[in-house]
């Protein structure tokens, strides 16, 4: 089996890994223990394997690991800093936007990339940013609300039931 060396930065740490020439970034990251990168559809439809490459969300199931040479990768494991959750992660928890959690890592990363570029997105922009992520549990309303809340948009429309529960 032919192998090659891959040099990249993952969550701020420089790494050098030995890979097979045509391995996918998803497979390599999971082999190295980044299990927050989920294996879903493996054809770029579900978004569970999303990571940020140089700040941009991509489907790691569609990218050869060798293409990431020299790149900076951010996985969901690297979003919290010094044991403190990112405001986006807090917002996902506060808004009940996490259920089984399989899609959550990808959604948080896509949302982070959006907010890094557009700190005050419209709801349509949030929906567009999350359109590549399929959730089979909660749906999309709560994640969208969570992202808007994290962006400082407080106009979260709560349902009557949720408002009563909160009281």
Q: Which is nearer to another protein, 96 or 132 (CB)?
A: 132
N residues, the chain: 167
Among 15, 32, 11, 14, residue whose Cα is nearest residue 23: 32
Q: How far is the CB of 108 from another protein (least distance, A)?
A: 13
What strands, in cross-sheet order, belong to the sheet with 13-19? 13-19, 4-10, 72-74, 50-53, 56-59
Q: Which residue in the set 20, 85, 156, 162 belongs to the binding site for another protein (CB under 8 A)?
A: 20
Q: Which residue in the set 17, 30, 66, 77 belongs to the binding site for another protein (CB under 8 A)?
A: 66
Residues 67-106 as x/- pattern, contact with another protein by CB under 8 A: x-x-------------------------------------
Does 21 help bind another protein (rule: CB under 8 A)? yes
User: What is the gyration radius of the CA atoms in the chain, in angstroms?
Assistant: 17
Does 166 help bind another protein (rule: CB under 8 A)? no
Structure tokens at 164: 């009563």
List interacting residues with another protein (CB under 8 A). Answer: 2, 4, 20-22, 24, 43-44, 47, 50, 53, 56-59, 61-64, 66-67, 69, 110, 113, 128-129, 131-133
């Amino acid at each position: 089996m032919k192998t090659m060396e891959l040099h990249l930065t993952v969550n701020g740490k420089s790494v050098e890994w030995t890979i097979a020439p045509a391995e996918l970034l998803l497979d390599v990251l999971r082999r190295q223990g980044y299990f927050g990168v989920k294996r879903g559809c493996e054809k770029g439809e579900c978004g569970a394997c999303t990571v940020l490459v140089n700040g941009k969300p991509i489907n790691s199931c569609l990218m050869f690991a060798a293409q990431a040479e020299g790149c900076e990768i951010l996985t969901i494991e690297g979003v919290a800093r010094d044991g403190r959750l990112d405001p986006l992660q807090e917002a996902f928890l506060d808004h009940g936007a996490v259920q089984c959690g399989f899609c959550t890592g990808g959604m948080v990363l896509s949302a982070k990339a959006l907010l890094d570029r557009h700190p005050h997105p419209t709801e349509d922009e949030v929906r567009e940013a999350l359109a590549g992520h399929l959730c089979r549990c909660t749906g999309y309303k709560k994640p969208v609300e969570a992202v808007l809340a994290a962006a400082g948009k407080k106009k979260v429309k709560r349902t009557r039931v949720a408002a009563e529960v909160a009281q």
